[in-house]
Amino acid sequence: MTTNLNQSETGTIRRLPHPQEAARMNTAELRAAFLVPALYAPGQIQLRFTDLDRFVVGGAVPTAKPLPLENHRETGRSFFLERRELGAINTGGSGTVTVDGKSFAVETEACIYVGRGAKEVAFASDDAKHPAKFFILSCPAHATFPTAVATAKEANTIPLGTPAAANQRVIRQYIHEKGIPSCQLVMGYTELAEGSVWNTFPPHTHNRRTEVYFYFNLGERVLAHFMGEPQATRHLFLHNEEAVLSPAWSIHCGCGQGNYKFIWGMAGENQRFDDMDAVKPLDLR
């Protein structure tokens, strides 16, 4: 079996708590609700269904043979992307994604978008000894857009932050209103410069979109991810290649032992990257 659908979770769906509940949770409860570990497993597709805007969060690590994207009863449709769209960023070796018989090369840190209606999708590595690692996000879609690929050089690149604030970083936007078009999915990744450790600080919320973070290039280092309502913040310690779910009411920022990279993906009412509500650091509690 190549697809792991996390059957241990209730109804195979990760259900997120309300902010009032999150404010009272202990560490184990917070991690069980918001942390998504172990998405990468050699020779498998790992998928986690959530009630966070019906996001599916996943990872595919093809080795000796391609991994097909199999349907699941939680889609309620006859195939996985019948009423969904999908984005995947490759954090491993170079790979290939086949969509309805057409192959697309997806090099390291490139992104592929697959639109609603694609019936057969499969992930493959160019070298089984150095496999591709596809971080996958999928959300519902009511419109169809064509499959497309963008490399890191082709992404819309935005420099932010300063060395003095330890948050100098580059944002690479792939699926967004001025890049690969989609129905509602927005996706890209952020790379911190050497010597910088803070991401997305000062923090913000955006009530019109939910978000997922996936941290990578951490190595053996750990990262503190901050979440919760601005006046009732909580934190999670994350390791390399772990994801965290971020509801619309929650801040999302992090601080690591050193520089790192993270993929971000959003879905909601609009695709404006700057549609956010800033939170002043002195107002945080």
CB atoms within 10 A of CB 174: 28
Q: Would you state the pLDDT for residue 275?
A: 74
Q: Would you state the pLDDT for residue 10?
A: 36
Q: Return d(Cα 148, Cα 228) in angstroms, integer.
A: 35
Total residue count of the chain as it appears in this document:
285
* Digit-coded pLDDT (tens) for 78-92: 999 999 999 999 999
Q: Would you state the pLDDT for residue 212?
A: 96
> What is the average per-residue pLDDT within 112-139?
98
> What is the average per-residue pLDDT within 112-122?
98
Q: Would you state the pLDDT for residue 278?
A: 86
* Digit-coded pLDDT (tens) for 212-246: 999 999 999 999 999 999 999 999 999 999 999 99
* Digit-coded pLDDT (tens) for 140-186: 999 999 999 999 999 999 999 999 999 999 999 999 988 999 999 99
Q: Would you state the pLDDT for residue 270?
A: 67
Residue 8 pLDDT exceeds 70: no
> What is the average per-residue pLDDT within 260-268?
93
Q: Would you state the pLDDT for residue 209?
A: 79
Q: Would you state the pLDDT for residue 11?
A: 42
Residue 187 pLDDT exceeds 70: yes
pTM of the model: 0.93
Q: How do 253-256 and 223-229 pair as beta strands?
A: antiparallel
Confidence of residue 274 (pLDDT cuts 50, 70, 90): confident
Q: Would you state the pLDDT for residue 178?
A: 85
> What is the average per-residue pLDDT within 119-131?
97
SS3 of 207-256: the string is CCEEEEEEEECCCCCCEEEEEEECCEEEEEEECCCEEEEECCCCCCEEEE
Q: Would you state the pLDDT for residue 60?
A: 98
Domains of the chain in sequence order? 3-283 (2.60.120.10)
* Digit-coded pLDDT (tens) for 36-72: 999 999 999 999 999 999 999 999 999 999 999 999 9
